[in-house]
Chain A
Amino acid sequence: MIAQEQKPMEEILGFLNGKKNIVVVGCGGCATFYHTGDKKAVDDMAGKLEKEGKAVTKISMPLGMSACENEKLSIFLKKKQKEVENCDAILMMSCGDGVQVATEYTEEEMGIIKNVYPANDAIGLVGGGPYKFKETCQSCGMCELGKTAGICPLTACGKGLMNGPCGGVREGDKCEIDEEKDCAWVKIYKRMEKLGELDDFEEMNDPHEWGKMKRPRLFELKEPMSMMDMMGSMMNLNTISGYMSLMFAKTPEPEEEKKE
């Protein structure tokens, strides 16, 4: 998922300076998971804006309804079409995808030209949890994990080296630029050692093929997921047993979580 943090209120108020009527949209996808777009976040934001004298229209998209998908966002924007038409700005509590899908959709599909502002800063694709997450994949379009014992050097190494470690490994096998972070290449070495594949470590990896990452990347889905597919996916025994397990599993305390 895309981790995100809310921007400082001063920055958000800077965007909205001189604008009275604000539509606040909370994304029901990643932003809801990270508490930067859920109903409470939208209510809190509305409260802060109202204190500053703004008139706020709230749109809270429910869990699973992501602002980055035209189909889903359109349902909620159309419900408040009049407010959207009459507002001075739209504040998206989502990642940058949500902001830009809203920008394009309001202009091209609804014919409404309004400033659409970000309330959040997206940090990146992360994995882990339940408390600590880390960026491990940058969606480069040419996965290198098969060569590096399952640890991505482009993302996990501060320099993104295909052949490390660099000369700056710190005490405790930490990164040159951040002593909180592990050196990815020492981790790769140790994992290759456990796998009995250390000979591979001495072989040069070719430079990464950045030609596979021509921005903006476009992607076409031949068969979009239908609502029936979605319902089917949610209403099967595996889903139910999975959610039941989560419900009854003990969430570890933060200090119990495996240190990275």
Chain B
Amino acid sequence: MAKEVYSQMMKELGEGKYVFTGELEPEKAGNVDAPIKAAKEMMGLVCACNVTDNPQSFAYVSSLAAAYKIQLETGMECVYQLRCSDRNRMALLSDVLGAGTLGLKSILALAGDHVALGDTPDAKPVFDLDSTTLIHMIRKIVDEGKDLGGNEIEDPPKLNVGGAAAPGAAHLPSEVAKVKRKIKVGVDYIQTQVVYYQDVLDKFFKELGPTDVPILVGIYPAKSFGSADFFDKYVAGVDVPPDYLVAMKETKAIKDKEKKREEVDRINLEFFTDFLEHLKGTPAAGCHMMAVGYPRIVGPLKKVMD
């Protein structure tokens, strides 16, 4: 468990509570009205929300600005996602110090998708650091008050740092070894990429073995067939089950909007109730619900774990 606890999420994890987190996605817009609305809907249901940083390399509102504004206006604790794809180690350091200055308490350190996968494919990819060295840098800043070069940082920020894991990775042994590497450098918590298959998750936990670093398992209840299909086709390291996709596709034929919503909710509840029931028997310390643009599903899903 983390040496120092700064965020509400780490506090609840430390108390042994089963933790739920949500996900908010800033858009390609000059405001963060939509994620603020979604954050308000999830208040009281989740203990924190991730604020995504250019997900799938689509360039959106800065996650630092969005996380700050959402936290300020709603009171929802924001987990600031920070990826290495777009910033060198200097810019990353500046943003980490910026996050502390703005009162953010938790960073999720990510390598990030390659820019070639997104809407700005001719951008120069950076990757000066990777997820592990970013976690290492944040540890050094927070714990020692020093940057990578050993330069002193006055009044260092108080932040917890998380890392990602991909239980569905095509080559599990190297993925597990990488997660162990992140644990060695001092990650406070792990949030996994989306998992759909129970046996995939079980295998991941078995290979990883016991750890005192809390692991939140990612699920993705999709608000529409289009979202589920996009995830299946374009999100690296994730396979959406064909049965779930077929069921979601059939909802496209429902003309009545209200009935369509009900059917989408029914499919998600049925699929994820089964998954969440299974999750109770795993070492997971919580569940990260990446219900982007779909906050109404969070409450009913959470009830499954009560």
**Chain A interface residues (CB < 8 Å from chain B):** 158-174, 176-177, 183, 185-186, 189, 198, 201-208, 210
Contacts and interface: CB of A to CB of B under 8 A. Distances in A.
Contact of B133 (A166, A201, A207): A207
A160 B127 CA distance: 7
30 contacts: A159-B85, A159-B114, A159-B127, A160-B127, A161-B127, A163-B130, A163-B132, A164-B178, A166-B111, A166-B236, A167-B193, A168-B237, A169-B169, A169-B174, A169-B237, A170-B236, A171-B170, A173-B170, A173-B171, A176-B113, A176-B236, A177-B114, A186-B171, A201-B177, A202-B184, A203-B181, A204-B185, A207-B89, A207-B148, A208-B128
B291 interface: no
Nearest to B111: A166
Contacts of B130: 159, 161-164, 166
A165 B169 CA distance: 10
B146 interface: no
B175 interface: yes
B127 A165 contact: no
A204 B174 contact: no
A205 B164 CA distance: 18
A185 B113 contact: no
Interface in B56-86: 85
A158 B114 contact: yes
Interface in B161-205: 164-166, 169-171, 173-175, 177-178, 180-181, 184-185, 193
Given A169-B170, A170-B236, A202 B114 contact: no
Nearest to B192: A167
Contacts of A174: 170
A204 B183 CA distance: 11
**Interface-central residue, B114, B116, B117, by most chain A CB under 10 Å:** B114
Nearest to B169: A169
Given A169-B237, A198-B177, A177 B116 contact: yes
B129 A207 contact: yes
B280 to A, nearest CB: 25
Interface of B: 85, 89, 111, 113-114, 116-117, 125, 127-133, 136, 148, 164-166, 169-171, 173-175, 177-178, 180-181, 184-185, 193, 236-237
A165 B174 contact: yes
A162 B85 CA distance: 13
A189 B236 contact: no
Interface of B is mostly: mixed
B293 to A, nearest CB: 22
A159 B171 contact: no
B73 to A, nearest CB: 31
A204 B184 contact: yes
B129 A201 contact: no
Contact of B181 (A167, A169, A204): A204
Contact of B171 (A158, A161, A176, A189): A189
A167 B85 CA distance: 13
A206 B132 CA distance: 9
Given A166-B111, A167-B236, A202-B180, A189 B128 contact: no
The 6 closest A-B pairs by CB, nearest first: A168-B236, A167-B166, A163-B132, A189-B174, A161-B130, A177-B114
Given A170-B170, A185-B174, A189-B174, A163 B133 contact: yes
Contact of B111 (A167, A183, A208): A167
Given A176-B114, A177-B117, A204-B136, A163 B174 contact: no
A197 B89 CA distance: 29
A159 B133 contact: no
Contacts of A186: 170-171, 174
Given A161-B130, A207-B148, A167 B164 contact: yes
